[in-house]
Structure formats: structure tokens, C-alpha cells
Amino acid sequence: MIKLLEPSLPTADELLPWLRQIDANHWYSNFGPLERELTQALERHFLDEGLGAASLVLVSSATTALELAVRTLSGVPAPRVLMPALTFIASAQAVLAVGGAPVLADIDPDSWLLTPEIAERALQSGPIDMVMPVATFGCPVDVDAWSRFSQRHGIPVVIDAAGAFGGQSVGAPGVTVVFSFHATKVFSTAEGGALATTDPQLAESLRRRSNFGIGKVGQGVTECGSNAKLSEYHAAIGLASLTGWPERRSRLIALHLAQLQGIAGHALPVTLQARPAQGPYAIFPLLLGSGAERERVEQALTAVNIQHRRWYYPPVQMHELFQNVAKADTLTVTADVAERLLCIPYHLRLGQDDRQAVMKTLQAALA
């Protein structure tokens, strides 16, 4: 069996020094010392990598982060939130969970992302209170372009960059960026997430709201909140992961390059997502020529025990829960991409022989 993805988190030995700190601190959740250390280390990481200056708020998942962001930033009780139809269902569920209404937009045919140009057109179809672009398949989105969009229209933008840690920039005014640290992501705390903003007051509000809206001890709450805190144990996993991150990042970038070379070397007639950088990515999607061709490739991969997946399938509007969802346009590109898209094995335990076997199987199926 060649697996589609294989998470790799810190080993017990790598975790042990951090767990011993928790033992010594007797502090297990509620903004403990490890949670603070991880927050500061990640803020430094964004700066050092040239990804921007921002205040970070760590939370229990990207989904809770999206819920907090929509509730805090939309400014209306039942916000209409524009998002791409091709996304993980969590983007739409987060809006629904806080009483909002997703409004689906189409994606760009090359990047497979919701772009500011598509959102501009969508604004003409009806009122929009907030936009949630998604870094689909971990592909970073242009924060500066979205910052200009936000300023031009006075509409807050929350980027669902769940899978784009390591490549996604943060520091842009008017734009809040959400990351997932779920076990399947390139940087992980097993379960967890983060919000990044250039507005320190907003960061403080998001942080309070992740703790039931509680601010200073003894003062009553003034903001609607939830429980979205990151425990010390999850922070320990994050700190242990961060130690190995630079090496992991380089290996993921090398893997991406090797994968691209494999596709070119085997002259595979597939279309790839127009990605602005070489990585790090956790997913490798490709577009086949048609739905029928995608089915043929799936059968060939299954026959030789190679895992594969139609990622983000079905798109949001095809789920029963969202059958009456508002749509800003015809979603033509989304339907086409969703029909032809397939993800092939992609992870750091994939050997050269495994990659070769995947390429050969694709080549034979596409001959």
C-alpha cells in the first residue's frame, strides 16, 4: 500500500522535555507558559521567514478560529460571508455555526482560488458583509491584494489558510489569517490553530473571546465568546515540532520539486495548480483531462494499492446541508475542477521507488 498522506509528529522522546516542563509548572491550560512561548516563537518565525509582522492568537482548531473571526469581525448578527465553493466543508460550517450565511463564489481557473477580481464581481450580485478567501490545497493567497480589497470596499477579510503554514504571509491591514495545526498539516500541534492580525487590539479581543470573553479577573464580560483555548499539552507538541521545522520545511520543498520533475520526466498530460512558491505543501493535487479520465486513473491506482483522493469533494453546494446555499455566480470553474481533480500520494515517508510507482501507474493509465 502506498499511502496518500502520512502525518509525522514529534516522537515521545522529543516531547519529553516539554512534558517535564508541564509537570514542573503544574499549569495545564488557560494561557500557560508553553502556550505563551509557542505564540512568541511563531510570531518570530513569521518575521524571520519574511512572512510579515503580526500578533498571533493560538486556539484549539482552525474551525474555532474561523468562528471567532467571523463573530468578531463581521459587525452584523447574520453575516453573509463570500467564500469559494471549492474548499473544505469547515469554512462553510464555521459561518453557519455563528449564525451567518455562506455565499459561494467561483474560483480562478489557474490558481483554483477565490481572487479579489472574482470577489469584486460577486459584490454586484448582492450584499456581502465579509470575505473568506481560502488558501486551497495550501496554496498561499495574496494578502496585500486582499488588504487593498478590504480597504477599497470596507469589508473585513478573513483568510482561511488552514493548510498554508510556512508559505502564507500574514501582516496586512484589514486581513486576519487563520491557520490549522491539525495532525495532517505540515506544522502541527495534533489539534490546534492560530489567528494572525496586525491589529493588537483585535488580537486581544480574539484572545478574550477564546476564553468565554473573560478579560481581567473580576470584570464582567462584554463580548460573545467560546472555549477555544490551546492546552499546554498541545503547545508542547507545537514547541517540539518547531525544533524540527527548518529541516522539515526544506525536505518538503525538495519533495515538491522532485514531484514536479517526476511529472515532467514522465510527460504526464495533467494540469497543476498555479502555485506561487515551491512549498512547503502537504497535498499534491492534479487535474485530469475529464471526469472519465479521472475515473480511469483512480481505477488504475486502486488496482495497484496506491491511495488517492478527490480532495474537497463534493464542493460545498453539493452537500445536502448546503443545497440551498446562496451563490454569487454559476460556479462553472468549481464544477469542472471538482470533476477532474485527484490528489496523489505526497508525504515525507514516500520513497523514490514509491514516487516512481505512482508516476508509472499514471503514465500507463493516461497512455
Ligand X SMILES: Cc1ncc(COP(=O)(O)O)c(C=O)c1O
Q: Are the C-beta atoms of 176 and 157 separated by less than 8 Å?
A: yes
Chain positions contacting ligand X, by CB under 6 A: 61-63, 87-88, 90-91, 134, 160, 162-163, 180, 182, 193
Asked if residue 314 has a cis previous peptide bond (ω within 30° of 0), the answer is yes
- Supply the minimum distance, in Å, between the C-beta of residue 86 and ligand X: 10
Cell of 32: 500557560
Give the whole-angstrom CA distance, residue 133 versus residue 167: 15
- Select 266 or 309, whichever has its Cβ closest to ligand X: 309
189 vs 361 by CB, closer to ligand X: 189
Measured between alpha carbons, how far is 159 from 259 in angstroms, rounded to an integer? 27
Of the two residues 282 and 357, which places its CB atom closer to ligand X in the complex? 282
CB-nearer residue toward ligand X: 85 or 359: 85
Give the residue from 145, 154, 133 showing the smallest Cα distance to 74.
154
* CB nearer ligand X, residue 90 or residue 344: 90
Shortest Cβ distance from residue 61 to ligand X (Å)? 3
By the 10 Å C-beta count (0-12 exposed, 13-18 middle, 19+ buried), 267 is classed as: exposed
Question: What is the Cα gyration radius of the chain?
Answer: 21
In the complex, the smallest distance separating the C-beta of residue 229 from ligand X, rounded to whole angstroms, is: 14
Q: What is the CB-side half-sphere exposure of residue 326 using CA atoms within 13 A?
A: 18
A 10 A CB-CB count for 367 gives 6
The CB-of-157 to ligand X minimum distance in angstroms stands at: 15
34 versus 134: smaller Cβ distance to ligand X: 134
Phi-psi region of 286 (alpha: psi -120 to 50; beta: other; left: phi over 0): beta
* Nearest distance from C-beta of residue 65 to ligand X, angstroms: 8
Q: Shortest distance, CB of residue 193 to ligand X, whole angstroms?
A: 5
Identify the bridge partners of residue 179 per DSSP, sorted by sequence position.
194
Instruction: Report the C-alpha gap between 9 and 185 in whole angstroms.
Output: 10
**2 vs 66, beta carbon nearer ligand X:** 66
Pairing of strands 175-180, 157-160: parallel
Smallest distance from ligand X to CB 59, Å = 9
Q: Which CA distances in Å does 3 have to 119, 249, 366?
A: 37, 20, 21
Complex with ligand X: residue 84 or 116, whichever CB lies closer? 84
- Name which of 39 and 361 has its Cβ closer to ligand X: 39
DSSP secondary structure letters along 204-264: HHHHHHTBTT--STTSPP-S---B-PPPHHHHHHHHHHHHHHHHHHHHHHHHHHHHHHHHH
Q: How far is the CB of 42 from ligand X (least distance, A)?
A: 15
CB of 67 to ligand X, least distance (A): 10
